[in-house]
Structure 1
Amino acid sequence: MTHLFIMLPVVAAMLATTASAQQKSTEAPHYVGSASCAACHATESAAWEGSDHALAWTEPSPDTVLGDFDDAETTLDGARVRLSTEGGAYMVSITRPDGTEARYPVHSVAGVRPLQQYLLETEPGRLQSFDLAWDTRGQRWYDLYPDQDLNPGDGLHWTGPYKNWNGRCAECHATGFRKNYDPRTRRYASSQAEMGVGCEACHGPGSRHVDWAERNRETPVAPPEHYGFTMDFATAGTEALIQQCAGCHSRREPLGDGNPLPGTAFSDAYRLVLLRPGLYHADGQILDEVYVYGSFLQSKMYARGVGCMNCHEPHSATLRAPDNTLCTQCHSPAGNPDFPTLPKRLYDDPAHHFHETGSPGAQCKSCHMIERTYMGVDGRRDHSFRIPRPDLDRVTGAPDACTDCHADRSPDWAAAEIAKRHPRSAARPHYGVTLARGRADPQAARTALLDLAGDTGQPGVVRATALWLVEQRADRPAADRAATMLDDPDPLVRAAAIGVQKAAGQQDRVQRVLPRLNDPAKMVRIQAAKALLGVPIAHMPERMAASMRRAMSEWQRSLVARADFPETHMVIGGTALTMRNTPAALGAFREAVRMDPQREEAWVMLARITAATKGGEATRAVLDQALAANPGSDVLTRMRDSIGR
């Protein structure tokens, strides 16, 4: 791991800063646990008890373990698995095809419905999510990834980095979580104030609130600001409330270690993943497991000020009303005074949905919230609340709600049926057309993408995605147009506009991006630091140089916080090459393949650097290692065959 400290010379200072911050945190509000809230907030506490939040992460006990541990046997990745109890502990015994056996006590339990996972401690402090899960409805054990047959050492095996609980999952299943990964020892010393998503996971540390409440029992005492919480739900406003939920209900890249303090702006804690191939369909519909926020940002409901809690009760984590009743609290002839722009019409009627009342097709969610199943049994709905557009199939290739149910019919049939009822529906423009064309050929679609990015009437996540596509084939005129978006109100757009500036001349790039080093959003400041990597600080005025150092330090800290991710070392390796630091680049790519031996792009970079520094013999040795881990790789085979030609 030497490369990490070659690349990041401020690590020691950062560790000292972190220790100092932790010391100061003892003087700041601290966590007191959900049990401290129950006496005064009995109704909310009763709703929370037994909720998906409360049971997001628990210790194993007869009350929490739902799976069959009565000497049940099954298979996983070709290994025989026995699930049993022993001295009160829940045990997982794995006998591999070669006869070797591993036995683990269940460390803890993740989730409660519709599936439950079990966490195993494979070395002190390192928790891994076992790929054998319990289907709570079907009452069966099942393989989460039945199409894979993986061996230990594969990055995707349940013992690998992508199934690590500390780094990939825990922060959204705990309160006050700190990952505490030490890149020197490659060990975790993780901690949490409370297992499960407790009261303070959303409201913030409660010590000041409890102190005020205790003093107020005898003598009236004025409440502290926000009643002592870092997040005041009564005054925060809809956008802040959405961002509080989005911290976990989103596909994003964390910028820090563990839970940010509740009330922290999303763009100061995370970088949202855009509508990229493999994650979203070209029109922005859900594809991979992207959770909710990226979808909801696309919706007209979000644009009109609807928030999570208009539909979801936060303490029980349940819907506020069943079925269509949830929707008709607003979408009805009576309307809703909180959303005055909404037309007052009868929607829950065959004249609108064209299906028999009470049938699945008459459910609002069937047409406006398509469902996709993840983790084998977990159905999740798209929160972009879109109108079905089967007429766009020929351009976007994306699914539509009509043929989701009418699987024996074609999108053309569905488009024709909608046209009969809504003749003008196909004339409505949709950003999915431009994004689809941008995916196919970003250069040919560049003008349309820039037009979309500049359209402030479109969702920010869509505009930022358009800019990301432009970045793939950007030229100077594109950089000039994108420069106007560097001051956009949406941090997603500002960050994406920075990416396009790589196509500008160096002087223009520096002049345009420098002000963003002081952007109010950390995500944007980090993006600016990346864009200015390699610019000589010595040639900057001191005020700008200081801003550059601060933003660069934020970026470095975010990398250190993700030092247990193979993808982080790919970034460090690329950065090291930009800085012409070959030893750091070699160290980074080697760490990436140590964590994930199937990461072909890291092996390719190792081979190229070795060829440039040590010659053919050493390069062959690297590629032999690479092919041992990736025997079917055409890329690595061609590289190996080309040596010596």
Structure 2
Amino acid sequence: MGMDRQMLMLRLRLIVAALLCVLAIPVAWAGEAGSAGFIGSAACADCHASEATAWARSDHAWALKLPDAQSVLGDFDATSITHNGVVTRFTTRDGKYYVETEGADGKAAVFEVRYTVGHRPLQQYLVETDKGRLQVLDLAWDVNAKTWFHLYPDQHAPPGDGLHWTGSYKNWQARCATCHQTGFDKGFDFPARTYKSHWAELTVGCEACHGPGEAHAGWVKSQAGQDPYKKLVLGPGHQAAELDVCGPCHARREAFSQVQPPAGSAFDDHYALAMLTPDLYFPDGQQRDEVFILGSFLQSKMKAKGVTCSNCHEPHGGGLVAEGNAVCTQCHSPAGNDAFPSLRKAEFDSPEHHHHKAGSTAAQCVTCHMPERSYMLVDPRRDHFFRRPDPLKSKASGAPDVCTGCHSGKTADWAAEQILAWKPAGDRDWQDRSAFAAFTNGDRSAKAIADLTSYILDTQRPAIARATALTALGSAGSLTVSDAERVLQDKDPMVRAAATGALRQIAVQDRIALLMPLLNDPSRGVRQQAAVEIAGAGVAMLPASDDAAYRKGLREFIEARMANADTPESHVALGGLALSRRQWDEAQQAFTTATGIDPQMTSAWLVLAQLAEARGNVKGAEEALTSGLAASPSNVDMLLARGDLDARRQQFDAALGWYRRAQAADPGRPDVWVASAIGFALKGDRVAAATAAQRARDLAPGTALPPELEQFLASPQ
């Protein structure tokens, strides 16, 4: 019995399931523009000498500096380094610092160092290329080892690649500047593709955290009325304010504006925090990529109990408030801390608790509760989840285990037995991510979905984890209308924003009715997402009385994306919105712009191919896939899409050729073998199709095959 080729070819259609925003990057480079209300850190030092002295030695003060003999720590005395055959030389001339290296055109060129970045444990350097564009060199100075090194030694990104030092992902204004300067305004002109950036102070000064000081300085002189700085109170006991001040820079997030908002502005009104996605975090919540603290801290019991940044960190010098375990024992001790009445009063800094030699590295609280992970090769960062070690949960989620990280010859089961012997009762519920981890690892069973839904509805869980679970759940969810009402009214804006995208299994009329109140939500992030979801659901069903609020939310979304128009991911998001609104030309323009900024943006190439084919332009689809593969020749999704296109054209031998290339690129992906099985079935080769299908199931037991393929394989010879 033959196979229904038309039905199988339908299975091969390229589908855009979701478009997610992530974060989570000559017009002269402008200087200090005398931003309204800012007076500079030097003016603050007159009255706040001790704070100014501490700040001058801090990482904030060193965030960005002009290059001179004091600020440049690297060796520019005619030194050089070679990476992937490219020789880079560092020299000085007439008091200026220069780098000779491979430019955007692949030719050697000399660039003047415009600024230094940081001072420990490494220092980086910025050079200006064209159109006011500052780029971060991939070569950095190791302050401790006193040597040059490449930040990505195993990576080869040639000129034209977005990850080359001249590429979009290494652009300072797009990716870094706002957290290294005070009162920053990116000043990006999208049509001209130029920058004319401004700032109030070159580095992270007093006013970056306290706000413009002009009114405060005036009050000091006149003593008339109330000190305007009293409106923003920081310090222990003021967690919400500190998270709004510290959070924007110590977080993986997307900004909604080119202009740095005033200090203390509500985070969710100006930024979208990156969720606990697998590229950034392990399924149990541990940090994976460089996430800059906030996302980890928001998961912690510390956050839930009211602990804030300045409980542990001295805000002006940036150091800890005490040495070693004393930071922790200011609360975790027999005396406890009256500010946190729920604390268990007990002796923690003792072998009876940590079961390691007193005074050893293993006896330090942070060793077990804040494990380190190094970024930029030499920069270790501690996880701020403050978790209790749980070797079995780490093992189940494929995450690092702090116990076997030190006891390398032992197993997670051995470590779990040791902990159980020491501590028969443990607070595991707080960090229990089993439902989340199972779903993240591919379990889409009814039980997995039900467990994840229960996790989402449990308001005792950290809001960022629940929001991430909602994002993961998406249209696969089982939220009822009443469940949806609960999460859409959650007190945390992260949960409300994430919930807007998890309602797609609910009938359109009910979905729009649920989303409409969020068009007037106090959080700009929530309003944007509600408007986008309503656009996708169909605004024809929106009452006229809500039209103004809808258009405002949509406008806020577009403005936020255009504020980041120098990044490809923003154009992918705009393209996704255009698709949902059936604006095909606008969608094509947005995705084309994304590929222009980053030719390796494969998701954009895939959508361009689908758009072209859907509009009857098969040649255009082939051209898009060809261009995408030229930039990313081993990308499996691109290879599968190219094979699918040939299969739809009934060029089955050609399709199988693309599938073989996908197999070679990643033989461990089950979908590669499913595609091959379909290709063989279309040719009528039952044996080869069965072999490929079995390979998919060997890799991932339970892999679902298209019904038509199952029927073909089960049919008699």
Task: Tell me whether the two structures share a fold, i.e. TM-score over 0.5.
Answer: yes
**Bigger mean CA offset, 536-545 vs 369-378:** 536-545
Q: What residue is the counterpart of 2:496 in the other structure?
A: 494
Amino acid at match of 1:125: G
Q: Give the secondary-structure state (helix, strand or coil) at the position aligned to 1:446.
A: helix
Q: What residue is the counterpart of 2:678 in the other structure?
A: none
Q: 1:84 aligns with which of 72, 91, 100?
A: 91
Q: What residue is the counterpart of 1:459 in the other structure?
A: 462
**Bigger mean CA offset, 457-466 vs 60-69:** 457-466
Amino acid at match of 2:242: L
Amino acid at match of 1:577: L
Shift of 1:53: 0.3
Q: Give the secondary-structure state (helix, strand or coil) at the position aligned to 2:546.
A: helix
Q: Give the secondary-structure state (helix, strand or coil) at the position aligned to 2:251.
A: coil
State how 1:433-472 maps to structure 2 within 5 Å: 433-440=434-441, 441-444=443-446, 445-472=448-475
Q: What residue is the counterpart of 1:323 in the other structure?
A: 324
* Equivalent-residue separation in structure 1 for 2:218 and 2:444 (angstroms): 58
Q: What residue is the counterpart of 1:132 in the other structure?
A: 139
Q: Give the secondary-structure state (helix, strand or coil) at the position aligned to 1:313.
A: coil
Q: What residue is the counterpart of 1:154 in the other structure?
A: 161
Distance of aligned partners of 1:413 and 1:516 in 2 relative to their CA distance in 1, 3 Å threshold: same
**Bigger mean CA offset, 583-592 vs 161-170:** 583-592
Shift of 1:620: 3.2
Q: What residue is the counterpart of 2:388 in the other structure?
A: 387
Contact 1:275 1:462 in 2 (8 A): yes
Q: What residue is the counterpart of 2:410 in the other structure?
A: 409
Distance of aligned partners of 1:492 and 1:635 in 2 relative to their CA distance in 1, 3 Å threshold: closer
Shift of 1:361: 0.8
Q: 1:170 aligns with which of 160, 163, 177?
A: 177
Shift of 1:426: 8.7
The reply to whether residue 198 of structure 1 matches residue 200 of structure 2 is no
Q: What residue is the counterpart of 1:551 in the other structure?
A: 553
Q: Any idea what the Cα deviations from partners look like across 1:194-235, whole Å, max 9, x if unmatched?
A: 11110000011111111222334xxxx2334435xx634379
Q: What residue is the counterpart of 1:512 in the other structure?
A: 514
Shift of 1:542: 4.7
- RMSD between aligned alpha carbons? 2.2
Q: What residue is the counterpart of 2:533 in the other structure?
A: 531
Distance of aligned partners of 1:297 and 1:442 in 2 relative to their CA distance in 1, 3 Å threshold: farther
Gaps of 5+ in 2: 1-32, 652-717
Report the TM-score, using the length of structure 2 for normalisation: 0.82
Contact 1:131 1:158 in 2 (8 A): yes
* Equivalent-residue separation in structure 2 for 1:263 and 1:639 (angstroms): 47
Q: What residue is the counterpart of 1:396 in the other structure?
A: 397
Shift of 1:479: 5.5
* Equivalent-residue separation in structure 1 for 2:275 and 2:610 (angstroms): 31
Amino acid at match of 2:213: G
Contact 1:593 1:599 in 2 (8 A): yes
Contact 1:453 1:466 in 2 (8 A): yes
**Bigger mean CA offset, 435-444 vs 132-141:** 435-444
Q: What residue is the counterpart of 1:290 in the other structure?
A: 291
Contact 2:235 2:242 in 1 (8 A): no
Amino acid at match of 1:359: S
Distance of aligned partners of 1:138 and 1:337 in 2 relative to their CA distance in 1, 3 Å threshold: same
* Equivalent-residue separation in structure 2 for 1:146 and 1:235 (angstroms): 42
Distance of aligned partners of 1:292 and 1:638 in 2 relative to their CA distance in 1, 3 Å threshold: closer
Q: Any idea what the Cα deviations from partners look like across 1:34-62, whole Å, max 9, x if unmatched?
A: 11101011111111112100110111111
Shift of 1:507: 0.7
**Would you say how many aligned residue pairs link Structure 1 and Structure 2?**
613
Report the TM-score, using the length of structure 1 for normalisation: 0.91
**Bigger mean CA offset, 428-437 vs 522-531:** 428-437
Q: What residue is the counterpart of 1:636 in the other structure?
A: 638
**Bigger mean CA offset, 402-411 vs 171-180:** 402-411
Q: Over alpha carbons, which structure has the higher Rg?
A: 2
* Equivalent-residue separation in structure 2 for 1:568 and 1:280 (angstroms): 22
Q: Give the secondary-structure state (helix, strand or coil) at the position aligned to 2:490.
A: coil
Shift of 1:636: 3.2
* Equivalent-residue separation in structure 1 for 2:519 and 2:444 (angstroms): 28
Amino acid at match of 1:201: A
Amino acid at match of 1:523: G
Contact 2:236 2:310 in 1 (8 A): no
Shift of 1:98: 10
* Equivalent-residue separation in structure 1 for 2:277 and 2:296 (angstroms): 12
**Bigger mean CA offset, 79-88 vs 530-539:** 530-539
Q: What residue is the counterpart of 1:12 in the other structure?
A: none
Shift of 1:611: 2.7
Q: Give the secondary-structure state (helix, strand or coil) at the position aligned to 2:503.
A: helix
The reply to whether residue 67 of structure 1 matches residue 74 of structure 2 is yes
Identity of matched residues, %: 44
**Bigger mean CA offset, 348-357 vs 615-624:** 615-624
Contact 1:391 1:426 in 2 (8 A): no
Contact 2:105 2:159 in 1 (8 A): no
Q: Any idea what the Cα deviations from partners look like across 1:290-321, whole Å, max 9, x if unmatched?
A: 11111111111111111100000100011011
Distance of aligned partners of 1:74 and 1:97 in 2 relative to their CA distance in 1, 3 Å threshold: farther
Shift of 1:76: 3.2
* Equivalent-residue separation in structure 1 for 2:129 and 2:381 (angstroms): 31
Shift of 1:138: 1.0
Q: What residue is the counterpart of 1:30 in the other structure?
A: 37
* Equivalent-residue separation in structure 2 for 1:149 and 1:70 (angstroms): 27
Shift of 1:601: 1.6
Distance of aligned partners of 1:281 and 1:304 in 2 relative to their CA distance in 1, 3 Å threshold: same
* Equivalent-residue separation in structure 2 for 1:253 and 1:151 (angstroms): 27
Distance of aligned partners of 1:302 and 1:640 in 2 relative to their CA distance in 1, 3 Å threshold: closer
Q: What residue is the counterpart of 2:485 in the other structure?
A: 483
**Bigger mean CA offset, 50-59 vs 96-105:** 96-105
Q: Give the secondary-structure state (helix, strand or coil) at the position aligned to 2:504.
A: helix
